[in-house]
Structure 1
């Protein structure tokens, strides 16, 4: 018998019990005992989210892996009691959702749809946008989500530059890395998309200095991590005209406080962390595959490198 502990308040047991059981059956894992109350020493795998009541992993001495339901692991990695292998969630449904959000908002800014929404008074203003091929886009972060979004935009004709902290080659994209590569990537970015993980090396990366490197009038999309951006510097760049607009899906504090200046700013659009929600049906299949791999002594999918923080 393989004992699997479900330890998550959000997303919850009601959402995941049926999809997980179906995914286990589909993966040929007929001897799974999935519960929310296994005795710690009997647990083989933990299906986990950081908002769980489980914060001390010390009693789980026989646990083979902790399988997160979240893509981000910055709230889990610092837990010193977690010494088991940790796998982050890379969910095909989440990837599709992120691609749709990024592509939709990139097109919205490219076509300047907000301008026409703001001018519905009967005045005939023929403001013609450039073609996609004339609008360079930069995607910071070339993980699973970053590459998928960058490729989607490239298929629409945008010249896309991707930046990562370590060198990567991605077909159809210009790829850059390192500090000098970051400066180059920002210098051409009329639309900037943030899809970096949150680490000590990326926290506050988008600040007054880096925003000043963008072409004047650029637009910023942040569906990645809130603390990548220095809030006050972003507002200042919008107020000065250095940035034209920003669409933000993630924030330093969530839910975004009612009195936060982002809410009332005329050039900021807030969406409530919906760009890449984990889908129970597809996420359950990722969990099942990792348990199958664990039992077969195969490498886990999406195992976190704690030295890098993701």
Structure 2
């Protein structure tokens, strides 16, 4: 019998996992991560979040490793994870739409001093700084990472009126988006970008990628919407980033 082992959520959630798989895949043997009756070589599929280092490598007959979330860095952080086994991540249409909503909202928020407006409103104050506002059609948003989420976000920004360019490790073709790829085209991508969106995966190559040198390539005054993994941003709790330059604005989740 095909065997699925699960490490995701508390022990109390295991009953819910079993009930759901029992409904949709009744022929599947479902076991908890620490089930003593399961031998490692019996496992066909592993559905995990932050698996114990070394455990996946012991499952010599694995057919796939499934992350119970959108990221896989919690799996690849284990030096011994079996690289020959397909690695699958979770993704839903709702999550994609929510990311598009958030980044579009953030981009528009960065066109105006929305934080100052909110604070003034709380104090019942009116201020007119006399500055003309930049419009979406005058603003270029650069999306780093053109996977499923990045492509959707880029297309949402195009429909919202922004000029959009995208950068990825390998060549991509996204309607309405000026696409760049590879290290050789990254500086060109950054040079005409006003608002940078980070949607890259967490890998050894992206660790600390967003640093002073990279951000200095953006067209000033620039802004960053950081929605990728925190390891991509160099520095402890982004403190250096906030000191980078007066007027540099950051939105992150």
Q: TM-score, normalised by structure 1?
A: 0.69
Q: What's the RMSD between the two structures over aligned residues?
A: 2.8
Where does residue 156 of structure 1 map in the other structure? 160
Deviations 1:122-168 (A, max 9, x none): 33416553221111100011111111111111110000000112211
Which sections of structure 1, spanning at least 5 residues, go unmatched?
250-310
Where does residue 49 of structure 2 map in the other structure? 49
Where does residue 17 of structure 2 map in the other structure? 17
**Hey, what's the Cα distance between the residues in 2 that align with 1:139 and 1:21?**
37
Does the aligned pair in 1 maintain the 2:53–2:80 contact within 8 Å?
no
- The aligned length equals 244
Cα distance change, pair 161–190 in 1 and its aligned pair in 2 (3 A): same
| Secondary structure in 2 matching 1:98 | helix
Does the aligned pair in 2 maintain the 1:154–1:172 contact within 8 Å?
yes
Deviations 1:183-206 (A, max 9, x none): 122122211100111223222222
* Dislocated runs of 4+, deviation >6 Å: none
Where does residue 216 of structure 1 map in the other structure? 220
Where does residue 123 of structure 1 map in the other structure? 126
Deviations 1:212-250 (A, max 9, x none): 11122211111101121223796455435355211122x
Does the aligned pair in 2 maintain the 1:2–1:33 contact within 8 Å?
yes
**Hey, what's the Cα distance between the residues in 2 that align with 1:117 and 1:200?**
39
Does the aligned pair in 2 maintain the 1:7–1:54 contact within 8 Å?
no
Where does residue 134 of structure 1 map in the other structure? 138
1:93 deviation in Å? 2.9
Return the structure number with greater relative CO, CA threshold 8 A, min gap 6. Answer: 1
Where does residue 60 of structure 2 map in the other structure? 61
1:34 deviation in Å? 2.1
| Secondary structure in 1 matching 2:75 | coil
**Hey, what's the Cα distance between the residues in 1 that align with 2:97 and 2:71?**
17
Where does residue 99 of structure 2 map in the other structure? 98
Q: TM-score, normalised by structure 2?
A: 0.83
Where does residue 88 of structure 1 map in the other structure? 89
Where does residue 210 of structure 2 map in the other structure? 206
Where does residue 266 of structure 1 map in the other structure? none
